[in-house]
Amino acid sequence: MAEDATLNLLEQQEKNRRQTTIWMVAFILFFAWIGFGGDLVLYLGSKDAYGTAHYRVPWVGIVVTTIAAVVTWNAWRRGPRQLLAAAGAREITDPTTQEERTLVNVVEEMAIAGGLPRPKIYIIEDDDPNAFATGHGPESASVAVTRGLLTTLNREELQGVVGHEMAHVRNLDVRLMTTIAALAGVIVLLSDLLGRSFRHGGVRVGGGRRGRGGGGALVLVVLVLWVITLILAPLIVRLMAMAVSRNREYLADATGAELTRNPGALASALQKIEGAHAPTKSIAKSTAQLCIADPLGRAVNAKEGAMANLFGTHPPMPKRLARLRGMAFQAAKAAGELPAQR
């Protein structure tokens, strides 16, 4: 059984490494299309009545693809720090309150239980209870919790939440999700900048008699496809990030419960977190999929089905609670702690 669990863990880690690489390559290819697609529009649009193109050097593609490569590397290297900084997280190096000391002790316990290095620990000064983990892997991971989480949960419940986040670290979910979150933010920004540049710069479709014929129609088709890509890319990348996140929460719940050997505590913690209706204002939309519960409180995360799987960042909380309580029941039954039935 333990051998199967280890194999599944290794398979999950390898899958996450592979998907991280795919996302980074896809990001660069996306901007190559945005850049060279823009060059194609400018090339076709610069043809005169005799079919001679006056735009010959693909500067847009060269510049945009170079920027994409640099940004991808920067997002990979600095993504975790940027996400923590955006949330206003403060690292705990010398705990000053009992709540902070308890948090440090719990994180150390869960790191030992998971056979992992102790991650850096951060506090977010927000009253809404929530938590997330980030980093490139176990050696560089960070766990961030809100002040509200510390004041809302008891020690066992806090242990359940930290165990869940350490599960994300052990499964290498943090590597994949942090990269996606960083790249998604960059895609939104650069798509907007490119769109503004071409709107203000204008594109001349065709020229002379030949430009008003089939050549002009071709330019129009390419231009429409290029603009659609600019418009839909931010939405598509966010939907993909949401779908990836939702599938990993069940695994992290189960792995976290395995680390604490107390699935009921995590269920109790999630119920309290769900009961706090206020959004976690300190956590940005691009970071929502990293959190243990949706920081924005969107109704779609309470639903099931194809649309919910597409637009939701987290599985329905009742379903997560039911699974954890089922695990708690089975554990109690195996330990002989259930009352005898009459």
**Which residues make Cβ contacts (< 8 Å) with residue 278, sequence separation at least 6?**
127, 128, 297
Say if residue 254's pLDDT is above 60.
Answer: yes
Block residue for tokens 């030992």: 112
The answer to the question of residue 211 being in a domain is yes
The answer to the question of residue 251 being in a domain is yes
Catalytic residues: 165
The answer to the question of residue 59 being in a domain is yes
Domain final residue, candidates 242, 261, 295 = 242
d(CA 152, CA 102): 13
- Burial of 190-220, coded b for 16+ CB within 10 Å and e otherwise, reads bbeebeeebeeeebebbbeebbeeebbebbb
Same domain, residue pair 141 and 195 = no
Give residue-wise pLDDT tens across range 87-125: 899 999 999 999 999 999 999 999 999 999 999 999 999
Block residue for tokens 């929460």: 249
Q: Taking a C-beta distance cutoff of 8 angstroms, is the pair 128, 276 a contact?
A: yes
Give residue-wise pLDDT tens across range 169-204: 988 888 777 777 667 766 766 666 666 665 655 544
d(CA 175, CA 20): 7
Same domain, residue pair 167 and 252 = yes
Same domain, residue pair 77 and 226 = yes
Q: Taking a C-beta distance cutoff of 8 angstroms, is the pair 289, 245 a contact?
A: yes
Same domain, residue pair 101 and 158 = yes
Q: What is the pTM of this model?
A: 0.73
Same domain, residue pair 208 and 299 = no
The answer to the question of residue 342 being in a domain is no
Q: Domain tally for the chain?
A: 2
Give the domain range for residue 310.
90-174+244-334
Q: Taking a C-beta distance cutoff of 8 angstroms, is the pair 297, 286 a contact?
A: no
Same domain, residue pair 248 and 144 = yes
Predicted confidence at residue 26, as pLDDT, reads 75
